[in-house]
Amino acid sequence: MKSRWHRPANGDAWIMGVLNCTPDSFSDGGSYIDVDRAVAHGLAMHGSGAAIIDVGGESTRPGSEPISVDEELKRVIPVIHGLVAAGYKVSVDSMKAEVMRQAVDAGATLVNDVSALTHDPESLGVVADTGVDVCLMHMQGMPSTMQHKPEYGAVVDEVCDYLEQRMNACLRAGIRQSSILIDPGIGFGKRLEDNLALIRATGLFKQRFGVPLLLGLSRKSFIGQLTGAPVEDREIETAVAGAIGISLGADILRVHDVALQSRAIRVASALSAR
């Protein structure tokens, strides 16, 4: 069975809209703590072209500290309920099995876990039992420490090997291959040269794994390192990097400014249509 998240041969790459219900995310922390405001922003992103809204209640920016399960549930579950009630597809950005479980009960159809289902020993079982889709991301270390001198011998090979191990773990747990997406984890325990190498290797990842590939490039720090632009002014660079990712085979882009990025994604998709 083919994944629903493979990009159509002659269609646009999918857009995942970022909805951070947190006070401390690197880009928009504090903007969507209020439930009604968060839901309204999710609705606006869908209206601008987001195929799925990625709801997260715990920041994973470099240096961030974990929060309790109860606090994370308080932040995300009402928002998921509101978006699902409006008829929209929702993913939950979480490393905690109980948050995943309750998010799926609330209607989320995809688990987006930056730890690739390693942080919580129950998370593999939650995804397998519920049958939802899952995005497996590579991260060196944890958010609180991941940018403390990350090191790689051969970053593309190491990320590929890690994702292969996690895919195999999912398959052994009973998760269907058609439910799996991969994300090389741009900015998560990576140096500038690592991020660039991983983006360039998008086609290699697609060829090796044959599952949908998600790129989270939006406003990332590697852009600031290249251009000096502050986090609130990186949309042009995000569009360029995303267009290159699409040309190399990316199926989904995770973005903050859906209204703006959807225009770039539409052009890039048309130019790279197969």
What residues are labeled active site?
220, 254
Which ranges of 151-191 does DSSP label H, i.e. alpha helix? 155-172
Contact 255, 18 (CB under 8 A): yes
Give, for 181, the enclosing helix (H) or strand (E): strand 180-183
Residue 125 CB coordination number (10 Å):
16
Query: Residue 96: CB partners within 8 Å, gap ≥ 6?
Result: 58, 69, 72, 119, 120, 123
Q: For residues 264 and 239, is the Cβ–Cβ distance under 8 A?
A: yes
Query: Any idea which residue has 């699902």 for tokens?
Result: 84
The residue whose two tokens read 């998010």 is 103
* Residue in 119, 117, 35 with CA at minimum distance from that of residue 76: 35
Q: Which tokens go with 39? A: 């839901």
CB-based contact 211:3 (threshold 8 Å): yes
Q: In angstroms, how far is the first alpha carbon of the chain from the final one?
A: 21
- Spatial contact of 4 and 11, defined as CB atoms under 8 Å apart: no
The number of C-alpha atoms within 13 Å of 136 and in the hemisphere containing its C-beta is: 30
Phi, psi of 71 (to 5 degrees): -65, -40
Secondary structure of residue 145 in the 3-state scheme: coil
